[in-house]
Amino acid sequence: MSRSRRMTAPLALAAVSALLLAGCSSSASEADTSESGATTITVGIAPWIGYGALWVAEEQGYFEEAGLDVEFETFNTDRDKASAFISGQLDVTTVASQTLLQLAEEGVDMTAFYVLDTSLQADSVLAGPDITSFADLKGKKLAWEEGSPSDLLIHWALREYGMTDADVEKIPMDANSAGTALIAGQVDGAGTYEPYITEVKTKNAGIHAVVTAAEAEGIISDVLLVKNEWAEKNADTLTALVSAIGKAADYYASEPEAAQQIIADALETPLEELATSFAGVEIYSLEANKELLSGSFITSGLPIVEQASIDAGLIKGGSDLASLVNSTFVNAAK
Q: Does domain 9-119+221-332 have CATH number 3.40.190.10?
A: yes
Q: Are 54 and 72 in contact (CB under 8 A)?
A: yes
Q: For the chain, what are the domain ranges?
A: 9-119+221-332, 123-216
Which tens digit of pLDDT belongs to each residue from 137-159?
999 999 999 988 999 999 999 99
| pLDDT given for residue 185 in this prediction | 97
**HSE-up of 203 (CA within 13 Å, CB side)?**
13
* Maximum distance among all Cα pairs of the chain, rounded to whole angstroms: 64
Q: The whole model's pTM is what?
A: 0.90
Which tens digit of pLDDT belongs to each residue from 57-88?
999 999 999 999 999 999 987 788 989 999 99
CA 10 vs CA 66, 68, 73, 108, 110: distances in Å: 40, 37, 24, 17, 21
- Percent of the chain's residues with pLDDT above 70: 90
Query: What stretches in the chain show pLDDT beneath 70?
Result: 1-29, 34-38
Q: Which CATH architecture has domain 123-216?
A: 3-Layer(aba) Sandwich (3.40)
Which tens digit of pLDDT belongs to each residue from 248-266?
999 999 999 999 999 999 9
Beta-strand ranges (E) seen in the chain are 32-33, 39-45, 68-74, 92-96, 110-119, 123-127, 141-144, 169-172, 189-193, 208-212, 221-227, 281-283
